[in-house]
Amino acid sequence: MSEHLEMEYETIQNVIDSWELLRRIPNYDVEAGTLLFTHLFEKCPPAMVLFGFPKDMDPTCEKLKKSKRFVSHAKNMVAMLDRALAMLGPDAELLEEMLLDLGKKHVTIGVPVNAYPIMGDALLQTLRELLGDKFNQQAEHSWLEVYRAFSFEMISVMRKTV
C-alpha cells in the first residue's frame, strides 16, 4: 500500500464527518457536483473542453448547469468521491487500486498535472460554501491532506507513462 494513503485516524474522521454533513443536503450529489464543476471551470476554462463543453462558454450560465452532460459529470464526481472516502483507512489497498485506475483514465483523456491542484481548490471552495462554519480549519486541513494523497496516487500513473 502507498505510504501517501496512510493517514491519522483524526484526519480520516474529520473528512468523513464533514462529508456526512454534506450528504445531508437534499440532492447533495447535484448540489455539490454542480458547484464543484462551476468552480473548476471558472478557475480553469480550458478544462471545459475535457468534459465536452466549449472553453469559451460561461461556466455560471444556466444552460450549462441544466445540461444533462454537466449534471451527469457532477453526479459522477460526487459518487467517485463517495466511493473513495468510504475506502479510507481499512480499505486503503482497494482505494489505491481505484485511484490508479482513475489516474489511467485521466491520462487517456489528457488531464494535465496542473489540473489537480485547481480541482483541489474548487473542491475546498465547494465544501466551504456548502458547509459554512461547519467546515472549520481542522476539517479543511484534513481535506487538503486527503486530496493531496488522492492526487499523488493518480498523478503517479502519469509519471510511469512518461
For the chain, how far is it from start to end, CA to CA, in angstroms?
Answer: 22
| Mean pLDDT for the stretch of residues 40-53 | 92
- Evaluate whether 93 touches 1 at the Cβ level (below 8 Å): yes
How many independent structural domains does the chain possess? 1
- Evaluate whether 134 touches 154 at the Cβ level (below 8 Å): no
pLDDT of residue 131: 98
CATH number of the domain enclosing 149: 1.10.490.10
Helix or strand run (H / E) with residue 48:
helix 47-50
Grid cell locating 149: 494523497
The per-residue pLDDT for range 101-117, each reduced to its tens digit, is 999 999 998 888 999 99
The per-residue pLDDT for range 3-35, each reduced to its tens digit, is 767 889 999 999 999 999 999 999 999 999 999
pLDDT of residue 162: 52
| Mean pLDDT for the stretch of residues 117-138 | 98
The span from the CA of 135 to the CA of 95, in Å, is 24
Q: Residue 56 in 3-state DSSP?
A: coil
DSSP 136: -
Is the pTM above the cut of 0.85?
yes
Domain span at residue 117 reads: 3-161
The per-residue pLDDT for range 62-75, each reduced to its tens digit, is 998 899 999 999 99
